[in-house]
Amino acid sequence: MSRESSISEGGGWVQWFCAMEDHQFLCEVDDEFIRDNFNLYGLKSKFNFYNEALDLILSSETPDDEDLEDERFLEVYQEATDLYGLIHARFIITAKGLSMMKEKYLGGKFGACPRVLCERQNVLPVGMSEELRTSRVKVFCPRCEEVYIPKKKCPDVDGAYFGCSFPSIFLMNFIQEVQIPANNQTYVPRVFGFRIYKKKGSRYQDTQQKVAEITHYSEEQLKKLRGKNDQQAKEDYVQK
């Protein structure tokens, strides 16, 4: 199927893919954005079936049961999902993409912060790496500024589909429209009403302890994660 003959007039692969269960974090990227080669710069080298995957993304047809049982189709389909995800990460930091994500955020589509003192503050999707198959999508709370696993695990949504910078860009663009309450509450652990020595809130709080600042996975952390993923894959294979 050629790109020219697959212009979607009312849906197509993108709409079908974004409507799938657990894909509620994703928005529908415009065909026009996907067809602009400038927006795809540097992506071709990451995929074995780049042209076929791009044709599938731009297709006006949706896969049927027969397609989903074809091994060759599934190879292209997997690459199409990852290619769409990387295009999506670029689209959601454009003016139109940010506007679409704002509607989802205000509607609570990304969920709420699990921290009790954040009082169900809406969260934003974030990736811990720009690289595919490093970690699944996480959520960032703009109130406590911490990262959590989403309530809906989204098992096949890669963090790279959003990238590391999206929440910061989003909040800088909508600082007036999106009011974030001040994070002026903190939980202080106690034993029978007494604060705990060298713990938060104690007069003798340990201020010498160094806190590591993390905005994305470092190379060292990536190596550890890849090692764990390889080990898990081996265990899954043995269990089968």
> What's at 83, amino acid-wise?
L
Domain for residue 189, yes or no? no
Domain for residue 224, yes or no? no
Examine the pLDDT at 123 and tell me if it is beyond 80: yes
Could you tell me the pLDDT band of residue 206, with boundaries at 50, 70 and 90?
low
Domain for residue 227, yes or no? no
What phi, psi does 190 have (nearest 5°)? -140, 160
> CB neighbours (10 Å) of residue 226?
13
Could you tell me the pLDDT band of residue 177, with boundaries at 50, 70 and 90?
confident
Domain for residue 232, yes or no? no
pLDDT in tens, 46-99: 999 999 999 999 999 888 888 888 888 999 999 999 999 999 999 999 999 999
Domain of 27: which CATH number?
A: 2.20.25.20
Domain for residue 206, yes or no? no
Domain for residue 201, yes or no? no
What's the rounded mean pLDDT across residues 179-193?
A: 83
Smallest CA-to-CA distance from 145 within 174, 123, 119 is with 123
Number of domains forming the structure of the chain: 1
Domain for residue 238, yes or no? no
Domain for residue 237, yes or no? no
- Cβ proximity of 13 and 59 under 8 Å: yes
Predicted confidence at residue 15, as pLDDT, reads 94
Q: What residue numbers bound the domain in which 124 lies?
A: 13-175
